């Protein structure tokens, strides 16, 4: 049986999903993080300590063993293209009165609690429809983009 490669978004689909989410800072940053780092959905949802005290984003994130697949701790280096998005997201969180402490979740729901994985999956499907995709992908397809060794985040 031939080996099938995992589904990945095309360059134009990546740009379309990021264009469609431009006015939604939370979802835009979630997809940018997935495309730029290859983090799994559970790792993105449970990320917390992203900022240094003065709202400067960290360039290296520690993935705690309890949220990593197989309990493996690791480090992820953030691409430069994410730094500006993370700075803008700090402002967005402050305006929404979301927690800005290291122990607070990076991504919150409308109730200001940690967003659920199911909500992220549902939102991703909704954004794909709004972006005009002719086929719908699972969230995991964003991870495969980064696994291919492509590190640039589409604008």
CATH code of the domain containing 22: 1.10.443.10
- Cα–Cα dist 74/77, whole Å: 10
* Domain-embedded: residue 43: yes
Domain count, the chain: 1
Q: Answer whether 144's CB lies under 8 Å from 6's CB.
A: yes
pLDDT of 114 reads 92
Rg of the chain over Cα atoms, rounded to whole angstroms, equals 15
* Domain-embedded: residue 154: no
* Domain-embedded: residue 153: no
* Domain-embedded: residue 4: no
What three-state secondary structure class fits 15?
helix
pLDDT of 7 reads 77
Range of the domain at 65: 11-147
pLDDT of 4 reads 60
* Domain-embedded: residue 5: no
Q: Answer whether 133's CB lies under 8 Å from 15's CB.
A: no
Task: Pick out the chain residues at pLDDT < 70.
Answer: 1-6, 144-155
pLDDT of 150 reads 45
What three-state secondary structure class fits 28?
helix
Q: Read off the pTM.
A: 0.86
* Domain-embedded: residue 58: yes
pLDDT of 10 reads 86
* Domain-embedded: residue 152: no
pLDDT of 1 reads 53
* Domain-embedded: residue 101: yes
Q: How many CB atoms lie within 10 A of CB 104?
A: 15
């Amino acid at each position: 049986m031939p080996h099938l490669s995992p589904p990945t978004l095309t360059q134009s689909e990546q740009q379309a999903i990021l264009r469609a989410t431009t006015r939604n800072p939370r979802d835009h940053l979630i997809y940018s993080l997935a495309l730029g780092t290859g983090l799994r959905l559970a790792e993105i949802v449970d990320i917390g300590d992203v900022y240094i005290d003065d709202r400067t984003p960290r360039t290296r994130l520690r993935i705690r063993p309890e949220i990593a697949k197989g309990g493996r701790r690791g480090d992820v280096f953030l691409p430069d293209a994410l730094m500006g998005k993370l700075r803008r997201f700090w402002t967005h969180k402050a305006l929404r009165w979301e927690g800005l402490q290291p122990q607070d979740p990076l991504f919150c729901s409308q109730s200001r609690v940690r967003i659920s994985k199911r909500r992220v999956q549902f939102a991703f499907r909704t954004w794909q429809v709004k972006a005009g995709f002719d086929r719908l992908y699972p969230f995991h397809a964003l991870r495969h983009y980064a696994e291919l060794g492509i590190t640039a985040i589409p604008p």
